[in-house]
């Protein structure tokens, strides 16, 4: 279970498990976590539990709430976060949330009820986009292609997206795909397959290596790894 650990001067003063819906933080004695520092408001902040999340909210405190050195108003706590209150430190520990495997299992919970659309109607207005939870541990290479011939000779295109098209749509078209272990070229459409170093790429993805020459739809390009 997640918990908050309050410390000051290197010693632990108090621990609080986040098993309730709301845990209040402040200088006043009625708070669940009392922080006796003159820079802390009587009611300074609150941690709310929603599903697997513990959300820290600053209650418009005079001196603000800082997580890992950055000021926050509303923050979803992450395992290992440190919240500073004057000379006090509050650490958030949630080992379960750091092991992302468990959390990926789809589970049924009760929804939150507010002024939300009726369940039968699908909203026609664009919804705010929710960012994917892509782990930051994945690193992608940085490759480029250089045009070798024609009016655009010498022009360099960065292959900084997941796919980059080369050739001509509705004619002969190939795609260069960026993957963690390198770049690959694959045929998309058209009668004539792209050629790498003079040989047709066929139907499967073909890995690109430094200095490979690519020919597609009359263009000639050179692959340059990052």
Q: Which residues bind another protein (CB under 8 A)?
A: 48, 50-53, 55, 74-76, 78, 97, 100-101, 103-112, 114, 116-117, 119-123, 126-135, 137-138, 161-163, 165, 169-170, 173, 175, 177, 179-180, 186, 188-189
**Shortest separation between residue 94's beta carbon and another protein, angstroms:** 8
**Shortest separation between residue 137's beta carbon and another protein, angstroms:** 8
For β-strands 182-189 and 195-196, DSSP reports them as unpaired
Nearer to another protein, 97 or 221 (CB): 97
**Shortest separation between residue 202's beta carbon and another protein, angstroms:** 14
Q: Say if CB 193 and CB 201 are below 8 A apart.
A: yes
Nearer to another protein, 1 or 130 (CB): 130
Residue the block writes with tokens 């609080």? 16
Nearer to another protein, 97 or 214 (CB): 97
Residue the block writes with tokens 């000779």? 153
Nearer to another protein, 11 or 127 (CB): 127
The dihedrals phi and psi of 51, each to the nearest 5 degrees, come to: 60, -125
**Shortest separation between residue 100's beta carbon and another protein, angstroms:** 7
Nearer to another protein, 12 or 162 (CB): 162
Q: Say if CB 133 and CB 116 are below 8 A apart.
A: no
Instruction: Please give the Cα distance from 117 to 108 (Å, whole number).
Output: 20
**Shortest separation between residue 118's beta carbon and another protein, angstroms:** 9
Residues 6+ apart with CB under 8 A from 134: none
For 101, the 3-state DSSP assignment is: helix
Helix H or strand E segment including 67:
strand 65-67
């Amino acid at each position: 279970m997640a918990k908050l650990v309050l410390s000051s001067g290197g010693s632990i003063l108090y621990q609080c498990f986040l098993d309730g819906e709301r845990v209040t933080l402040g200088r006043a004695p009625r708070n669940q976590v009392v922080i006796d520092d003159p820079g802390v408001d009587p009611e300074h902040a609150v941690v709310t539990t929603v599903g697997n999340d513990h959300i820290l909210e600053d209650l418009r405190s005079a001196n603000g709430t800082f997580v890992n050195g950055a000021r926050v108003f509303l923050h979803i706590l992450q395992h290992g976060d440190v919240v500073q209150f004057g000379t006090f430190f509050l650490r958030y520990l949630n080992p379960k949330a750091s092991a992302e495997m468990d959390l990926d299992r789809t589970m049924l919970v009760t929804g939150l009820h507010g002024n939300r659309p009726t369940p039968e109607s699908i909203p026609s207005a664009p919804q705010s986009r929710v960012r994917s939870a892509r782990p930051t541990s994945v690193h992608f290479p940085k490759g480029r292609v250089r045009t070798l011939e024609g009016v655009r000779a010498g022009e360099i295109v960065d292959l900084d997206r997941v796919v980059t098209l080369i050739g001509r749509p509705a004619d002969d078209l190939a795609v260069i795909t960026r993957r963690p272990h390198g770049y690959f070229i694959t045929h998309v459409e058209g009668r004539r397959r792209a050629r790498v170093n003079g040989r047709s790429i066929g139907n499967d993805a073909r890995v690109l290596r430094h200095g490979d020459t690519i020919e597609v739809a009359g263009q000639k390009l050179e692959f340059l790894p990052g």
